[in-house]
Structure 1
């Protein structure tokens, strides 16, 4: 072997043998690497480039772990460091391979849900019930807190107030039922007043307080969009055009004073009852304007304009 290792050239002293050349190499080390392979195989020829390649790494089977519970996991085995000159043989236990690693892991505790939520399709309800069962086991029972007592007191007060409001509503409902009936005009009174004789008759009847109250309630139903509108509607409802032309507010000239009539007070009370917050001043102001412009209503202004134009035409004719 020394002669081979030292690459000694053969001479006449060397014996001759019949051999099969399976592989040749320029170095003794590479030829030595093929020795073990030559004992098992007949073809060991490889190129120098293939010989330079690093021996393939042996695969080590990975161990699988159960991810159902993160607590109590065994630490993964450390990889064995294999030097290039040595071969390490790793032996796996067949029993652990058959049973798996689940037996090595601790099992998580099983929580049985209460019967009230078994079969429920809501996950939130199930989780809430389970959490409630856990809390019952952990926290001891205790009396109501200060906040709970305060809430109970507030609820009791609200309950009493609700009872009081119910009684008031029932009482108002009974009163409203009595007032629903529309008051009719007193006997012997009709609107609008068409002449001065009828006005005098009504003034006599208004000396009775019951007649005043009944007539006021009836005129409250006339209504209007505003105080001014309400006053004009009531005045037009009670007085005809002929009677309105006979009155002004203070009785100036040949006309009678509307301010002194009992009917004026009835109209004031009716408008105040219909329009809350209205004053006598604004109501009387609208009544004065309504009486002042009575002659312009129902074509009165057109008649006056026509009469005035006719007078001017006659004067022009006379002047010519």
Structure 2
């Protein structure tokens, strides 16, 4: 036989028939859920509302009296008779001014009393007087006729001033042309000169030329350009012949080898090159070669080659 008395809330069933009879008594009562209880109450309320009987609305009684008459009786408004109303618009007199007529019409629209109308006319008269003082009538004073005369006089003065200025500018232009032509003629007639003493015969002359070229290279350049030549070789030779004496040129070469002085280290070298490059389309390498050959062959100039050939022939005959 199974146990039957485990707990007072137990739902365990036994095989005995007496326990089956008391099953409903021994079951534990469950507490209802709060949310479920609210849902149940809401649904019950809805069902009650749906089951309410339809009540037919009662028909409203039609008012026998007119609404306007009832409103008038409520507000107690007394409407004046048509004969007692003042006219809104008045006829305007032709002799009155425009502003006065406007003021009267405005006053009549607003139904201004006669006492206020007189005050309004006085105020408009004062306003018109002030407007005449601020903005006077130019037609009566003659200022409208005077303004075009003033403008015409100003235009005439400006026109005369422009004519005078144009005339002066033409005279200045002619004077400038005369001065320019005279300067050009002087430059063409005047031959450029060397700014230092030439030809070089000693080192002092070279030092003096370097001091001058430190501040004035343009005049020496113009002097070099003035020589010209049929070629760059001829142009360089013509300049160097004027710069060096034959005896002093024997002490120079281009690079300064063999216990000689270097021509490329002198201050005149870059100035001579720039002058020749302006006159001929050559490179600086060509000018270096021309200057080197000039100093290399210096001993053959001024009859040096003939003397050397004569001395060599004399020695050969003696032998």
Q: TM-score, normalised by structure 1?
A: 0.40
Q: Which has the larger radius of gyration?
A: 2
Larger fraction in helix: 2
Question: TM-score, normalised on structure 2?
Answer: 0.40
